[in-house]
Structure 1
Amino acid sequence: MQLVCPAGNLPALRTAIDAGADAVYAGFRDQTNARAFPGLNFDDGEIRDGVAYAHARGRKVYMALNTYPDSARLAHWHRAVDLAAELGADAIIAAEMGVLDYACRTHPTLARHLSVQGSATTAPALRYAYERFGISRAVLPRVLSIQQVERLCQSAPVPLEVFAFGSLCIMVEGRCQLSSYVTGVSPNRHGVCSPASFVRWEEHPQQERSVRLNGMLIDRFAKSEPAGYPTVCKGRYDVGGEIFHALEEPTSLNTMDLLPRLAQAGVAALKIEGRQRGSAYVGAVTRAWREAIDRHAAAPEGWKTEESWRKALAAHAEGQQTTLGPYHRAWH
């Protein structure tokens, strides 16, 4: 299985490659990618250096052009496709049909991966993207059970990529209506759910902290309590007189225990989430997964998750907690 790792900037790209990533995914410094916020992503010179660094070491670079343009600015996304092809990117990751159609017609030799934001969760959806736009891979949303992933591997017309570690999203990927409602901006083109400019932390005399998103109370934490990044879906709410995480707990996806099953199913690539994270995160997570994948490939029968891998991943998880998320649900 290929290990695909995040590269939010040139140091992170180099760190991922040096730590053992088979491929990295990156974005231009504009709204064509879903992590568009200040200090992140690549200008033309940086991405040229990044592609050269990766290719010199036999690795690949995928350009994330995965947002949904409005009709007035579709040409901007077309130019991004042209630039990705001119730079020698190994593939683009796209979701919007107009972007995929343009890439298919204009740069037929540039590989096209269907983004997780395409929300393709069925074989017919994947078949449509394959037949209409010639995709060569699809990234599955983080809402499927392991049984559903296994069935799709058997019926999909293209190789499949799944998220292995990082932040969870229980909504329609990248298009959260909750965050849009509270902040008034789209997570899709403004970089992240709960953009940092809307987040306010408050210290209280009662030895606790609270966090608000655009004035709305999201959660309160005891001084010693771990706190993940505040998003609406991971807040605690008063529901029928009980305060709890009504939608999702602040925790990170970690599928390492499922690695043998994902390999047996035929998953083509494991993806690490986190282009917004720093080089320390990228390096530690990539090294752990590289070692785990290589050890499984060499001796699948005796493979088991090492405690050192668990500790390394937990240290970089939200609230230092991990979960299998929808992968382990009993119903599917």
Structure 2
Amino acid sequence: MQLVCPAGNLPALQAAIDAGADAVYAGLRDQTNARAFPGLNFSDEELRRGIDHAHARGRKVYLALNTYPDSARLAQWFAAVDKAAGFGCDAIIAAEMAVLDYAARTHPRLARHLSVQGSATTAPALRYMHERFGIARAVLPRVLSIQQVERLCEVSPVPLEVFAFGSLCIMVEGRCQLSSYVTGASPNRHGVCSPAKFVRWDESTDGRRSVRLNEVLIDKFEPAEPAGYPTVCKGRFDVRGEVFHALEEPTSLNTLELLPRLAQAGVAALKIEGRQRGVAYVASVTRTWRAAIDRHAAAPDTWSVQPGWQQELSRHAEGHQTTLGPYHRHWH
């Protein structure tokens, strides 16, 4: 299985490659990608340098062009496809059909991966995207159980990539409206969930902190309580007098224990989430998953999860806790 790791900037890209990533995914400094945070992503020169660093070591670079442009801005996404082809990217990761169509017609040799934002969760959807746009791979949304992943692997016309570790999104990617509902801006259209310009932190005299998104109170924290990046889905809300994480607790997806089952199913690539995370996160998580994958490949019959692996991954998890998320459902 290929290990695909995040690169939010050039140092993170270099760290991922040096720690053992088979491929990295990156974005340009605009709204063509779904992590358009200030200070993140790549200039043209940085992208060229990153591609050179990866290719010199036999690794790959995928360019994320996974947002949904309106018709007035399509030319910007088309230009980004041209740039990916011209710079020598190994694939683009796209969701919008016009972008996929343009890439297929204009740069047929540039591999096209269907983004998780494309929301393909069924065999017919995968077949359509393969037949119409010639996708070479599809990234599955993080809402499927392991049984559903296994069944899709049996019938999919293209290799499948699944998220293995990182921030867990409970929505079907590409269809979430929460950020748009509160701020008018969404990762699907504007490249970022909970844009920083709408976030406001307030601290009281006793050290307690509250966070508002576009003046909507979404959480309060005790003085020593860790607080991650504020999103609506991970806020705490008053529901009939009880305050709790009504949608999703701050936790990270960790499928390490499922690695043998994912390999047996024929999953082509394991994806690490976290282009918004720092170099230390990227290097540590990449190194840990590289060790686990390599040990499984060498001795699948005796493979087991090493405590040190889980300890290292838990250090980088949201809320310092992990979950299998939708991969494991008791009712299945």
Partner of 1:49: 49
Q: TM-score of the superposition, structure 2-length normalised?
A: 0.97
Which range moves more in the overlay, 140-149 or 239-248? 239-248
Which range moves more in the overlay, 140-149 or 170-179? 170-179
How far the C-alpha of 1:209 sits from its partner, in A, is 2.2
- Separation (CA, whole Å) in 1 of partners of 2:173 and 2:113: 16
Residue 76 (str. 1) matches residue 92 (str. 2): no
The AA in structure 2 aligned to 1:291 is: A
Contact between 2:66 and 2:115, CA under 8 Å: does it hold in 1? Answer: yes
Which range moves more in the overlay, 193-202 or 20-29? 193-202
How far the C-alpha of 1:321 sits from its partner, in A, is 1.3
Contact between 1:95 and 1:118, CA under 8 Å: does it hold in 2? Answer: yes
- Separation (CA, whole Å) in 1 of partners of 2:105 and 2:170: 33
How far the C-alpha of 1:205 sits from its partner, in A, is 3.6
Name structure 2 gaps, 5 residues minimum: none
| 1:105-161 alpha-carbon deviations (Å, 9 max, x no partner) | 111111100000000000000000000000010000000011100100001100000
Which range moves more in the overlay, 14-23 or 231-240? 231-240
| 1:285-330 alpha-carbon deviations (Å, 9 max, x no partner) | 1001000100111111111111111111111111111111111112
- Separation (CA, whole Å) in 2 of partners of 1:40 and 1:206: 34
- Separation (CA, whole Å) in 2 of partners of 1:90 and 1:136: 11
Report matched runs for 1:59-208 at 5 Å.
59-208=59-208
Percentage of identical aligned residues: 80
Partner of 1:325: 325
SS in 1 for 2:302: coil
How far the C-alpha of 1:175 sits from its partner, in A, is 4.5
How far the C-alpha of 1:54 sits from its partner, in A, is 0.4
Partner of 1:296: 296
- Separation (CA, whole Å) in 1 of partners of 2:167 and 2:47: 25
- Separation (CA, whole Å) in 2 of partners of 1:126 and 1:187: 22
How far the C-alpha of 1:204 sits from its partner, in A, is 2.5
- Separation (CA, whole Å) in 1 of partners of 2:152 and 2:141: 12
The total of aligned residue pairs comes to 332
How far the C-alpha of 1:283 sits from its partner, in A, is 0.4
Contact between 2:67 and 2:191, CA under 8 Å: does it hold in 1? Answer: no
| 1:161-203 alpha-carbon deviations (Å, 9 max, x no partner) | 0000111112231553111111121223434211222222222
Partner of 2:38: 38
- Relative to structure 1, the CA distance from residue 29 to residue 283 in structure 2 (aligned partners, 3 Å threshold; closer, same or farther) is same
- Separation (CA, whole Å) in 1 of partners of 2:96 and 2:25: 18
Contact between 2:251 and 2:322, CA under 8 Å: does it hold in 1? Answer: yes
Contact between 1:234 and 1:248, CA under 8 Å: does it hold in 2? Answer: yes
Report matched runs for 1:238-253 at 5 Å.
238-253=238-253
- Separation (CA, whole Å) in 2 of partners of 1:175 and 1:165: 21
- Separation (CA, whole Å) in 2 of partners of 1:129 and 1:154: 17
The AA in structure 2 aligned to 1:193 is: C
Which range moves more in the overlay, 178-187 or 121-130? 178-187
Residue 29 (str. 1) matches residue 8 (str. 2): no
SS in 2 for 1:188: helix
| 1:222-270 alpha-carbon deviations (Å, 9 max, x no partner) | 2233322211111111112222111111111111111111111110000
The AA in structure 2 aligned to 1:62 is: Y
Contact between 2:67 and 2:190, CA under 8 Å: does it hold in 1? Answer: no
Contact between 1:176 and 1:193, CA under 8 Å: does it hold in 2? Answer: no
Contact between 2:211 and 2:217, CA under 8 Å: does it hold in 1? Answer: yes
Contact between 2:32 and 2:191, CA under 8 Å: does it hold in 1? Answer: no
The AA in structure 2 aligned to 1:98 is: A
The AA in structure 2 aligned to 1:186 is: S
Contact between 2:179 and 2:186, CA under 8 Å: does it hold in 1? Answer: yes
Contact between 1:228 and 1:251, CA under 8 Å: does it hold in 2? Answer: no
- Separation (CA, whole Å) in 2 of partners of 1:46 and 1:230: 29
SS in 2 for 1:163: strand
Q: TM-score of the superposition, structure 1-length normalised?
A: 0.97
How far the C-alpha of 1:207 sits from its partner, in A, is 4.6
Contact between 1:85 and 1:110, CA under 8 Å: does it hold in 2? Answer: yes
- Relative to structure 1, the CA distance from residue 37 to residue 227 in structure 2 (aligned partners, 3 Å threshold; closer, same or farther) is closer
How far the C-alpha of 1:28 sits from its partner, in A, is 1.3
**Structure 1 segments of 4+ aligned residues over 4 angstroms from their partners:** none
Contact between 1:33 and 1:189, CA under 8 Å: does it hold in 2? Answer: no
